[in-house]
Amino acid sequence: MANTTALKRRIGSVKNTRQITKAMELVAASKMKKAQDQAVHARAYRMAAHELLRKLGSVSDVENHPLFLNRKINQHLILVITSDIGLAGAYDANALKQLTKVLKVDVENKVKSQVVGIGKKASQFVGRLEGVDLVAAYPIFTGQPKGADIRPIVRTILEKYETEEVDKVTIIYTGFVSSIKQDVSTLELLPAAIKEDKTLSELEVAIFEPSINEIVESAVARLIEVQVWQSILESLASEHSSRMLAMKNATDNASDIIDDLTLEFNTARQAAITQEIAEIVGGAEAVSA
């Protein structure tokens, strides 16, 4: 009897857990679609910003501008995007694993590392590391981040780079590929010059007015803002997709456990009934004898 009571409690506990994971799955699924659409539709802006940065970096008038100048790397600022609450499968672990690889390369090259954590998981992880400075921590954004949300982050990295507190800025984020596939990517934000062998677009023959020098400061800041914004959108879409899949797997596993426990409960109950019948029959035979 005690065994069946314990099994009933376990079944009830697992059912409660399944309700929670199912609810989290549905919430993640509802957020996932919107986040995916935002990430995919914003990619065109990122591509335009990427090409414009490449164009600006190829103009001789701005070669010595602080945002484009390549210098010896002594300090490396790394932005890493994770979630706040976890429960998203390997989403956070993959991003932090990539961060560990980048930090290892910095150690090998005798470069000091600084980290800006976007998402509580990143901040908690970096806070436990030795020899790595956590210079800023931001919660992950809910819904679609606005320009006002991104600008404090951009202002921090631009000030550090222009004052030569850091010599390189990199962002680690999770790029959205599909609902079941997300890839961790590393993007170099500063120095801003980007040189690639691609077919020249109409940006290559664009005329900047009044002059390159007058627009480069504000233009590069806005273009880097677009890069950070898109990285956050991609990460949000990846987070919701990973959480939906993780919660679906947890719900399915809970259902399997409930089935196993129910079978065990029924077996134990049948054994108890059989034992009671045997005791009654034995008692009746003893009385009649």
Residues 190-226 pLDDT 10s: 887 655 544 445 545 666 676 666 677 777 788 888 8
What is the DSSP secondary structure assignment for residue 68, as one 8-state letter?
T
Phi, psi of 87, rounded to the nearest 5 degrees: 55, 35
Q: Determine whether 70 is exposed, middle or buried from the number of CB atoms within 10 Å of its CB (0-12, 13-18, 19+).
A: exposed
User: What pLDDT score does 197 carry?
Assistant: 45
Across 59-68, 70-79, 203-212, the highest mean pLDDT is recorded for 70-79
Q: Can you give the three-state secondary structure of 142-159, one letter per residue?
A: CCCCCHHHHHHHHHHHHH
Residues 18-41 pLDDT 10s: 999 999 999 999 888 888 888 888
Confidence bin at 2 (pLDDT 50/70/90): low
Phi, psi of 65, rounded to the nearest 5 degrees: -65, 140
Of residues 2, 71, 32, 10, the one with CA closest to residue 263? 10
Q: Where are the domains of the chain?
A: 25-246
Q: What CATH number is given for 25-246 in this structure?
A: 3.40.1380.10
Q: Determine whether 200 is exposed, middle or buried from the number of CB atoms within 10 Å of its CB (0-12, 13-18, 19+).
A: exposed
Residues 252-264 pLDDT 10s: 999 999 999 999 8
Residues 6+ apart with CB under 8 A from 61: 211, 212, 213
Lowest-pLDDT range, 53-57, 59-63, 128-132, 197-201? 197-201
